[in-house]
Structure 1
Amino acid sequence: MSSPCDPQNAPAGDVDAALMMIDSRLKAIYDGKAETDPEQQQLIDQFTASLGPEEANDMVEGTCTLVYMFMQWLRRACEERDRDVIAYVVPGFVTSMRLMTRSVRPEVIPTMAGLVVAAGTGLSPNLWRRQYGDWTGDEMNSLEATALLLAEHINRVTGDRDFATRMITEALSSSAQD
């Protein structure tokens, strides 16, 4: 039976812009900077301020697409080792989110955990979230943190700091050629 949250029913959004933001944050972390470079933060702030409602929505949808793609990769990696992706990813994810007290409000963590579980079970994170109403402002940092944590987890699993970004870039390139 088809689900209303089937990824085939979900818009992909602006995956390129979402990936650019996540990649930028990853590079800052790997360069040992807990905080984003002020100049880089200014560019990010200018970019996000320039987004109209439609572009902002596309960015949210693109970030949800990243969450889905990251969780699908993790699911396949877990299945190869007879692990359950939810049991393997979610506890560490929630623990990490709880430690991000300046970026993530505690009341948003269950929603982000649900988003990760939805993606891990093959549902569109964006369509799953839409069931519960519009996205809130408090969820935006948490959504970015969700994609960031999943990308960083993949990079740690593979031992390659650029693996998650490269995986998405290659997927986008191959879909553009098709």
Structure 2
Amino acid sequence: MSSPCDPQYAPAGDVGAALMAIDSRLKAIYDGKAGIDPEQQKLNDQFTASLSPEEADDVLDGACTLVFLFMQWLQMAYEDHGKDVIEHVVPSLVASMRMMPKSVRPEVIPTMAGLLVAAGTGLSPSLWRQQYGEWTRDEMNPLEATAVLLAEHINRITDDHDFATRMIADALSGADED
């Protein structure tokens, strides 16, 4: 029986824009920058301000698609080693989010954990979240942090700082060719 949260019913959104934002954050982490580069933040703010509400929703859906794709990749990787992705990924990401109180408010951590579990069980994170109403402003940074933490987890597993970004970029290139 199909779930109303099945990914086939979910919009993919603007995965490219979401991926650029995630890649930008990863590069800052790997370059050892303690904070956000003011110039980069200015560009991000300008980009965000230029989005219409529909375009902003597309980027939001794109971030959820990234969470789904990253969790699916991690699920396959962990299953190859006889491990459960939810058991091994969700607790460490929740612990990481708890150490980021300026970016991730404690009250939204359960929602982000729910997104991870939804994706890890094959459900669309955006459709799962939609059941509970509109996204809130307080959930935007945590959603981005969730996607960044997942990508960084993949990069750490593969010992390649660009693996997660390249994997999605390659998938997008392949989809464009079809």
Q: What TM-score range do you get, normalising by the shorter chain? A: over 0.9
Q: 2:129 — aligned with what?
A: 129
Task: Please state how far the C-alpha of 1:43 moved relative to its aligned partner.
Answer: 0.3
5 Å matches for 1:112-123?
112-123=112-123
Give the letter for the 2:27 counterpart: K
CA distance in 1, matches of 2:12, 2:34: 30
Normalising by structure 2, we get a TM-score of 0.99
User: Which whole-Å CA distance do the structure 2 matches of 1:34 and 1:13 have between them?
Assistant: 30
The answer for the alignment partner of 2:21 in structure 1 is 21
Alignment of 1:70-89 (within 5 A): 70-89=70-89
Q: What are the superposed Cα offsets for residues 21-46 of structure 1, whole Å, 9 maximum, x if unpaired? A: 00000000100012121111100010
1:44-92: CA deviation from partner (whole Å, max 9, x where unpaired): 0100011110011001000000000000000000110000000010110
- Name stretches of at least 5 consecutive residues in structure 1 with no aligned partner: none
CA distance in 1, matches of 2:90, 2:34: 23
Measured after TM superposition, the shift of residue 155 of structure 1 is 0.3
1:39 maps to which residue?
A: 39
Match in the other structure for 1:177: 177
- Determine what percentage of the aligned residue pairs are the same residue: 74
Tell me which residue corresponds to 2:52: 52
Give me the whole-angstrom Cα distance separating, in 2, the residues matched to 1:100 and 1:111: 15
SS of the equivalent of 1:17 reads helix
Give 2:104's aligned residue: 104
1:79-114 alpha-carbon deviations (Å, 9 max, x no partner)? 100000000101100000000011000000000000
Structure 2 gaps, min length 5? none
Q: How far, CA to CA, are the matches of 2:41 and 2:75 in structure 1?
A: 33
